[in-house]
Structure 1
C-alpha cells in the first residue's frame, strides 16, 4: 500500500514547515496539504520556504489544495463563489508554480458553499468555468484537478459522488477539459449516505485520488465502522492506481500506530 500523509489535518502540533520532515521521520515518502498559506496569493518568500521544507524533507508533495477561503470560519472553496473569481484565478497561477517546482500532479479545488441570495445555477455555471480554467492550467504541468464531495457543511452542495461527477461532466462537455476528476474521500461519502461500494464498482478507474478516515469520528482506520481495507482493495481491483491519502484526525499519540495492525483497515 502506498500512502500519502495529509499534513494539514495530521501532525498539527507542529508548525507547518516542520511537518514534511515529521512525515519522513514517520516512515512515509509522500505528503499532501490543504492550502498552507493565509492568502490566495502569498508572498514569494512564504512560497519559497514551503517548497524548501518539502525538498529538504525528501518527500514528494503528491497533492495540494487550491485556496479555499477561511476554512476554520466555515468557507469551503472559491470555485463557485460569485464575486471572488479574480482571487481564485490568481491563486491558480500560484498553485501551478508550486506544482511545477515540486512535481505535484493533483490539485484539489473545493467547490464552495451556497451563498445566501445567490442563484445556485449561476454559482454552478461559474464553477464549471473556473474548473475548466484550473484544469487547463494544471494540464500544462501534467496535472489533474480534483473535485470532492464534502460532509459537515449543509451549504456545501456536492455531497455525493454523483453530485461531483455531474459537474465534472459539464466541464468536459462544455469546455473540452477532461482532467477534472473525482476525489473519492470514503469518509465524506459514507457520512453523507452515499453507497460507497457502488461508487467504487462503477467509477474506481476514474478516481483522481482516494482519501480515508473512519466513521464515526473521522479518526484512524480501525476506530470506527467503515470497511476501509475492503473498499481500497476493491478500488485497486477496479483500476485505481494512485496513492491513498491519510486524511483523518489523530486520536492517539502515534497517529500511524494502526499501520502495524493491518486487520484494522478491513473491519
Structure 2
C-alpha cells in the first residue's frame, strides 16, 4: 500500500492539473506551477486573462518557461505506462474496479453497474454517463457563465475599491502637504514677528538707557558742582573766622 501511495504521489507530480494526462510540452508559470503549454494557453484564451488555475495569481504577460526536467520525466512515465491514457479517460469504481458507466441522479455521483444493484442505491434513479453529460451540460454552462459574471463583478468591485483607497491616500497626502506648508508659512510669519518685536524692544531699551545715562551724567555733574561749591564755601568760612 505504501509503495502504491508513493507511485500515486509521483504520478500526480507529472500529470497536468488541467487535462489530467502526462505533461506534453510542460511549461512553468511565474508562480511555480506547471501545465501543458496547450492547456494553459487555451485556459487563458477561454478566460480572457492570464491567471494560474492552481493559485489564481494573475500575470501581466504570458511568460512561459519550458520545464525540460518535467518533460523528460513525463516522457519516461508515458513509455512505462502506455495504457494510462485510456485508463485516465475511463474512471473506475474504487470498490468494484468497474468502469463508472452510470450517473445516480439521487446522489448526484458516478457509479458502476454493481453499485447500482446494491442496497445503497436501491430505488434511486440512474442514467448513462453520456446522457447525464448532455443533460447537465447546459446547467453546468449556465453555472459557469453565472460564476464568471459574478467573478467579473467582484473584480470590478475590487478595482473600484482599490481606486477609492488610492483616492483616499492621495487626498491624505495632499492634506498633509498642505498642512505642512501652512504651518511652515505660519512659523515663518511668527519668526519674522518675533524678530521685529525683539528689535523694537532693543530699540526702546537703547532709548531708555540713553535717557537714563544722560540723566546720570547730569546728576554726576550736579554732584561735582555741589561738592566744589561746598569746598569753596567752607574755605571762605574758615578765612572769615581767621580774621
Q: What TM-score results when the alignment is normalised by the length of structure 1?
A: 0.20
Question: Greater helix percent: which structure?
Answer: 2
Q: How does the TM-score come out when normalised to structure 2?
A: 0.21
Between Structure 1 and Structure 2, which shows a larger proportion of strand residues?
Answer: 1
> Which gives a bigger RCO, structure 1 or 2 (Cα 8 Å, sep 6+)?
1
